[in-house]
DNA sequence: TTGTAGGCGTTATCAC
DNA sequence: GTGATAACGCCTACAA
């Protein structure tokens, strides 16, 4: 099933088929010829061979999205947003899971850029300085690559402000153990907010992005006597809930918890989690748009910052004392 | 950067480069020549062009994984399992999200099979009868395609048995509104189990795979006076929790809840969810293995059933009365 | 042991 | 308006 078959069936040459189907025959191919070609293609169920086209044009019409861990529900929604935007631009998005493995991350990026993909979206990856092809970074600090990210500063400020306003003075930080710059920004901003109020974080713990590990890391924060904890992420907040339950500490009566991301499960936690809500679909869509611009050679803002907002639910309240 | 450049640099012909790099030069190419080629390739940072190779060989070394909704955490883990298995076989996995849209599902499958992918893994999709290329179905009832699925029958039996053993007689079913055969199997098995005990399901509700919608669908089950509810999926169980909280119904004292899948958040719910645990990574890996066999033309069992097991946690207990 | 040559299905540049 | 024809980069008989 090739364009040659279509040509034969339509009684024209192969190049005419190509011209018609690519739309480049505009005003060069007669209407009857065009109709005949289209009908033949339709009847035969012809689909252009992607590999041949890619080889000839040097363009794959595919972009890669590299995420650190597909298991995190956040990425699914980023992918969906990127995929929607990409599809309407005639691109496909290939998701690759780096499995939290830095080497594989780099290998994947190279492999992708070597041909299968025209560009890559790098989530939370502080990209190799010499990223070879078209790339856009997501959720990292400004660097060599154009960046699309959440307004973590505003989000953190809002969260800390909320805690302070409720009267908390002993605030802990359940931080992500993975050293991504977005998390460093949160830590920094948290400390700044606390300092401005004449405070210091009571305790800080670095936790893996997974409930049990986070719970283990969270336990010491409880011992340190925090009345509130800012968690870098909702997954970590989930771990905090686990640790609190284990230690029979009541949320929010004895402990206030704030998360980040507003993952779906945040609402079903008991009590529902107060968290900084982000729009992952928008993040994915914006990242694709930026990448499309990069690939087109258009100017791209070095940094695009998407708004977030604090959603106050049941996990925060006034401190007990 | 092509194999011709490498050949020139190594002072050999292009075909020699191809032979060496594909490993098919075994015992045909002299050691010094081979070394020279490898060194030249290394120095130049040569990467074979995937499109050219795919065009020439007719093989993309990529398989597609089509899922109904990337947003569900279950799929992330299936993808990871499939990707791991695929990678060690030299294949890449392209994830495509059908966005719960049947038409797009079909379009995606066709598009994938038209070239970019050598085969597809179809999750929960009752495939078009005339699936054109290599395909394996995941989590559906046996049909035209080889199937890899969870032992939902045993899982449902275990869940129902558990509820019955605890003394429940008024058992409801929070069913998935999406008409996939795996869910039909659960419904059927639940009824069978109940009948065997001389009971009928007290009430059944069809719910969307998302917390709020599920909660809305779950509310009537509470009104119907169920003392226990079997949920087709942990997401739905989450909705059940929401509805129970809304109606001030205590779990497990006034209502026992059983889920299915054992998603990560099941443990952080309060109380932790009793659920039928599956191994999504194994599912993904087994599906890829089956697809690899199909692509290789080897015989493949029509149906492969993976074990599940009931994990009893805090959401189930004896009925109040 | 190595090189030559043909072709995979497209697109695009020419003649006609 | 339409049709030859030449790449794109790679693999693989087959020839030397």
pLDDT at A92: 87
Q: How does pLDDT run across B241-294, given as a tens digit for each residue? A: 999 999 999 999 999 999 999 999 999 999 999 999 999 999 999 999 999 999
Measure A124 CA to C12 C1' (Å): 40
pLDDT at B146 over 90: yes
pLDDT at B286: 98
Measure B298 CA to D12 C1' (Å): 25
Mutate one of B95, B101, B261, B288 to test the A interface: name it (highest A CB count within 10 A): B95
Give chain B positions within 8 Å (CB) of A94. Answer: 92, 94-95
Q: How does pLDDT run across A1-11, given as a tens digit for each residue? A: 899 999 999 99
pLDDT band at B115 (very low <50, low <70, confident <90, very high): confident
Percent of chain B residues past pLDDT 70, beyond the cut: 98
Give chain A positions within 8 Å (CB) of B84. Answer: 99
**Helices of type H across chain A:** 3-10, 14-21, 31-44, 50-57, 73-88, 102-113, 152-165, 181-196, 211-223, 234-246, 280-296
Pairing of strands B309-311, B274-277: antiparallel
Quick one: average pLDDT of A215-240? 96
Q: How does pLDDT run across A180-195, given as a tens digit for each residue? A: 889 999 999 999 999 9
Strand D: protein residues, Cβ closer than 7 A: A 11-16, 19, 25, 27-30, 32-34, 52, 55-56, 58; B 2-4, 14-15, 18-19, 21-22, 24, 46, 48-49, 52-53, 55-57
Q: Is the peptide bond before A271 cis (omega within 30 degrees of 0)?
A: yes
Secondary structure class of A60 (helix, strand, coil): coil
Quick one: average pLDDT of B193-215? 93
Angle, CA B24 vertex, CA B22 and CA B25 arms, to 5°: 110
3-state helix, strand, coil in chain A (%, to 5): 45, 20, 35
Q: How does pLDDT run across A242-270, given as a tens digit for each residue? A: 999 999 999 999 999 999 999 999 999 99
Q: How does pLDDT run across B223-255, given as a tens digit for each residue? A: 999 999 999 999 999 999 999 999 999 999 999
Tell me whether B51 touches chain A (CB under 8 Å).
Answer: yes
pLDDT at B158: 98
Q: How far apart are CA B2 and CA B11, in angstroms?
A: 14
Percent of chain A residues past pLDDT 70, beyond the cut: 98
pLDDT band at B58 (very low <50, low <70, confident <90, very high): confident
- DSSP of B201-264: -S-EEEE-SSHHHHHHHHHHHHHTT-SEEEESSHHHHHHHHHHHHHTT--TTTT-EEEEEE--G
- Taking CA atoms, B72 is separated from A80, A253, B191, B204, in Å, by 11, 32, 27, 23
* Cβ-contact B70, B124 below 8 angstroms: no
Q: How does pLDDT run across A148-161, given as a tens digit for each residue? A: 999 999 999 999 99
pLDDT at A132 over 80: no
List residues bridging with A147 in a β-sheet: A137, A303
Question: Is any atom of nucleic acid chain C found less than 7 Å from the CB of residue A58?
Answer: no
- DSSP of B110-126: HHHHTTT-SEEEEES--
pLDDT at A170: 95
Q: How does pLDDT run across B59-108, given as a tens digit for each residue? A: 888 899 999 888 888 998 999 999 999 988 989 888 888 877 777 777 77
Q: How far apart are CA B242 and CA B214, in angstroms?
A: 9
Give chain B positions within 8 Å (CB) of A241. Answer: 268, 270
pLDDT at A97: 84
Quick one: average pLDDT of A267-293? 97
Neighbours of B139 (CB within 10 A): 24
Question: Is any atom of nucleic acid chain C found less than 7 Å from the CB of residue A52?
Answer: yes
Quick one: average pLDDT of A161-174? 97
pLDDT at B180: 86
Q: How far apart are CA B261 and CA B208, in angstroms?
A: 16
Contacts of A260 (CB under 8 A, 6+ apart): A152, A155, A156, A159, A186, A231, A232, A233, A234, A237, A275, A276, A278
Tell me whether A220 touches chain B (CB under 8 Å).
Answer: no
pLDDT at B321 over 70: no
pLDDT at B37: 92
pLDDT band at A238 (very low <50, low <70, confident <90, very high): very high
C-beta atoms of A110 and B47 within 8 A: yes
pLDDT at A321: 63
Q: How far apart are CA A104 and CA A68, in angstroms?
A: 10
pLDDT at B16: 92
Q: What is the mean pLDDT of chain B?
A: 91
pLDDT at B26 over 80: no
* Cβ-contact A7, A13 below 8 angstroms: yes
Q: Which of B76, B92, B264 is opposite residue A76, by nearest beta carbon?
A: B76
C-beta atoms of B241 and A268 within 8 A: yes
Measure A18 CA to D4 C1' (Å): 14
Secondary structure class of B196 (helix, strand, coil): helix
pLDDT at B131: 66
pLDDT at B100: 75
Quick one: average pLDDT of B124-138? 79
User: What is the number of alpha carbons within 13 Å of residue B260 lying toward its C-beta?
Assistant: 28
Neighbours of B151 (CB within 10 A): 16
Tell me whether A321 touches chain B (CB under 8 Å).
Answer: no
Tell me whether A52 touches chain B (CB under 8 Å).
Answer: yes
pTM: 0.91
* Cβ-contact A65, A54 below 8 angstroms: no
């Amino acid at each position: 099933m090739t364009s040659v078959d279509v040509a034969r069936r339509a009684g024209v040459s192969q190049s005419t088929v190509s011209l018609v189907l690519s739309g480049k025959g505009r005003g060069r191919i007669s209407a009857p010829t065009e109709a005949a070609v289209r009908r033949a293609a339709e009847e035969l169920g012809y689909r252009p061979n992607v590999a041949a086209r890619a080889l000839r044009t040097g363009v794959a019409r595919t972009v890669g999205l590299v995420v650190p861990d597909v298991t995190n529900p956040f990425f699914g929604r980023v992918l969906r947003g990127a995929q929607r935007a990409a599809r309407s631009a005639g691109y496909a998005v290939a998701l690759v899971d780096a499995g939290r493995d830095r080497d594989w991350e780099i290998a994947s990026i190279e492999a992708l850029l070597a041909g299968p993909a025209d560009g890559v979206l790098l989530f939370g990856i502080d990209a190799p300085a010499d990223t070879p092809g078209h790339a856009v970074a997501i959720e990292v600090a400004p660097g060599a690559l154009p960046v699309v990210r959440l307004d973590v500063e505003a989000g953190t400020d809002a969260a800390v402000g909320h805690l302070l306003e409720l009267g908390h003075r002993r605030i802990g930080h359940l931080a992500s153990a993975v050293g991504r710059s977005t998390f460093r920004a949160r830590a920094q901003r948290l400390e700044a907010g606390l300092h401005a109020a004449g405070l210091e974080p009571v305790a800080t713990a670095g936790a893996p992005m997974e409930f049990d590990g986070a719970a283990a890391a969270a336990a010491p924060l409880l011992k340190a006597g925090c009345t509130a904890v800012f968690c870098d992420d909702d997954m970590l907040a989930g771990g905090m809930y686990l640790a609190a339950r284990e230690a029979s500490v009541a949320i929010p009566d004895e402990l206030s918890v704030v998360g980040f991301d507003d993952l779906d499960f945040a609402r079903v936690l008991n009590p529902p989690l107060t968290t900084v809500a982000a729009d992952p679909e928008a993040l994915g869509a914006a990242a694709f748009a930026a990448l499309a611009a990069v690939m087109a050679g258009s100017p791209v803002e070095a940094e695009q910052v998407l708004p977030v907002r604090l959603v106050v639910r049941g996990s925060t309240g006034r401190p007990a004392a």
